[in-house]
């Protein structure tokens, strides 16, 4: 099919969010906000993607106001007058190009200390049961894994209440500066995901145990945010099977288990599932070629977004280990799955770093840009 007739360019509405196409800029940590404050260069970075035709921008992860939410001082935060003024400039720049933008709210949870080795030893990471998670296939150093694997104090009821309040305030702050919705990072072994994963959540109270109880904390965060921001704006929720602690980990061993976890989040107020996996078209359960996003949509009926290696023949971890990211024109397969309504949106990360006008290139049927890690990951262009 021609690109102009591609399902990539069908409009989509979710609550008040109206998108001109199905192309989303995936959240990617850039570490270009000294002191947690996004500057003019960050605003220009996002503006260029909006000008390039991307239907929706999801920002890099942004820290909520909690002592151990973030261990990298160059990751932006969603609190404080200085940071919120910076985000106001970002939102205004994107809106000036007719773009739409939502922030991804983030608490690193068990993985606090992974990005910076000099964290305050007096602070305790937020872990449901005090556990980092069973180590497996990971890109972390042996030194960090050994250090992080030491158990710590489990989260208390006061900790849980404080974190829910911090997420809720960050969401309210984001809406006040004009963001078009809210996204939550609930995957990859970070705090929300650590309650879903049996390896990190071994509680026997209302916040852990069976699948329904393991979903209660992230659902409580979603519910509190929904109450605070009202019914107008959509809530996106990123989830994953794999973890930073172990790329082979799974939160659900079957579709029925996944339904239990995701349904709790839908009931709490999630509108869009951002199904994070290393390749968007990878099958996840035996006997079906459905992708993770496809299963999310089939099991819950809500809007689903796929992500993972669009236009690239290697996962992020594989390309980092090899130092190269070969091009793979898997766009026809992406279009087939969108046309079949397997999922509704596609989030693209690395190719958005390679070319701010990626969406325009896809519309015009131009050659895919090549991703050069050394050129595109280290600079803000």
Q: Give residue 50's pLDDT.
A: 98
pLDDT (average), residues 141-152 = 95
Confidence of residue 315 (pLDDT cuts 50, 70, 90): low
pLDDT tens digits, residue range 326-336? 677 899 999 99
Q: Give residue 4's pLDDT.
A: 60
Q: Give residue 2's pLDDT.
A: 47
- Kindly report which listed range (3-7, 11-15, 126-130, 273-277) carries the lowest average pLDDT score: 3-7
* pTM for the whole structure: 0.95
Q: Give residue 1's pLDDT.
A: 43
- Kindly report which listed range (43-52, 119-128, 294-303, 316-325) carries the lowest average pLDDT score: 316-325
Q: Give residue 121's pLDDT.
A: 87
What percentage of residues in the chain have a pLDDT greater than 90? Answer: 90
- Kindly report which listed range (112-121, 145-154, 355-364) carries the lowest average pLDDT score: 112-121
Q: Give residue 320's pLDDT.
A: 56
pLDDT tens digits, residue range 326-370? 677 899 999 999 999 999 999 999 999 999 999 999 999 999 998
Domains in the chain with CATH codes: 3-376 (3.20.20.70)
Provide the mean pLDDT of the chain: 95
Q: Give residue 246's pLDDT.
A: 97
Confidence of residue 325 (pLDDT cuts 50, 70, 90): low
Q: Give residue 299's pLDDT.
A: 98
SS (H, E, C) the chain: CCHHHCHHHCCEEECCEEECCCEEECCCCCCCCHHHCCCHHHHHHHHHHHHCCCCEEEEEEEECCCCCCCCCCCCCECCCHHHHHHHHHHHHHHHHCCCCEEEEEECCHHHCCCCCCCCCCCCCCCCCCCCCCCCCCCCCCHHHHHHHCCCCCCCCHHHHHHHHHHHHHHHHHHHHCCCCCEEEECCECCHHHHHHCCCCCCCCCCCCCCHHHHCHHHHHHHHHHHHHHCCCCCEEEEEECCECCCCCCCCCCCHHHHHHHHHHHHHHCCCEEEEECCCCCCCCCCCCCCCHHHHHHHHHCCEEEEECCCCECCCHHHHHHHCCCCECCCHHHHHHHHHCCCCCEEEECHHHHHCCCHHHHHHHCCCCCCCCHHHHCCCCC
Confidence of residue 71 (pLDDT cuts 50, 70, 90): very high
Confidence of residue 116 (pLDDT cuts 50, 70, 90): confident
Active site residues: 190
Confidence of residue 321 (pLDDT cuts 50, 70, 90): low
pLDDT (average), residues 281-299 = 97
Q: Give residue 330's pLDDT.
A: 93
């Amino acid at each position: 099919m021609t690109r102009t007739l591609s399902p990539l360019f069908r409009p989509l509405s979710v609550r008040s969010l109206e998108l001109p196409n199905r192309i989303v800029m995936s959240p990617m940590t850039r570490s270009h906000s000294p002191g947690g404050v996004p500057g003019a260069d960050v605003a220009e970075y996002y503006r260029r993607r909006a000008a390039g035709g991307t239907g929706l921008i999801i920002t890099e992860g942004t820290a909520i106001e909690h002592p151990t939410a973030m261990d990298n001082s160059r990751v932006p935060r969603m609190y404080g007058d200085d940071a919120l003024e910076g985000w106001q400039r970002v939102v205004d720049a994107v809106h000036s190009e007719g773009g739409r933008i939502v922030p991804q709210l983030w608490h690193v949870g068990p993985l606090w200390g992974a990005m910076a080795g000099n964290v305050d030893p007096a602070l305790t990471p937020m872990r449901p049961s005090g556990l980092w998670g069973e180590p497996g296939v990971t890109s972390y150093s042996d030194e960090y894994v050994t250090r992080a694997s030491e158990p710590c104090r489990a989260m208390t009821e006061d900790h849980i209440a404080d974190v829910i309040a911090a997420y809720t305030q960050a969401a309210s702050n984001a809406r006040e500066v004009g963001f078009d919705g809210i996204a939550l990072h609930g995957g990859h072994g970070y705090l929300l995901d650590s309650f879903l994963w049996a390896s990190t959540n071994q509680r026997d109270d209302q916040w852990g145990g069976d699948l329904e109880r393991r979903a209660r904390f992230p659902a409580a965060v979603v519910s509190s945010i929904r109450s605070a921001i009202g019914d107008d704006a959509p809530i996106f929720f990123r989830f994953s099977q794999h973890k930073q602690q172990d790329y082979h980990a799974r939160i659900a061993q079957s579709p029925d288990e996944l339904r239990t976890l995701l349904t709790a989040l839908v009931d709490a107020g999630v509108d869009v599932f951002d199904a994070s996996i290393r390749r968007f078209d990878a099958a996840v359960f035996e006997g079906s070629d459905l992708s993770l996003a496809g299963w999310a949509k089939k099991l819950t009926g809500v809007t689903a977004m796929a992500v993972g290696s669009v236009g690239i023949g290697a996962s992020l971890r594989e390309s980092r280990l090899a130092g190269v990211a070969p091009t793979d024109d898997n766009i026809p397969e992406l279009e087939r799955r969108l046309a079949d309504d397997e999922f509704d949106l596609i989030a693209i990360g690395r190719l958005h770093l390679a070319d701010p006008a990626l969406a325009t290139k896809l519309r015009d049927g131009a050659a895919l840009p090549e991703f050069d890690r050394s050129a595109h990951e280290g600079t803000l262009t």
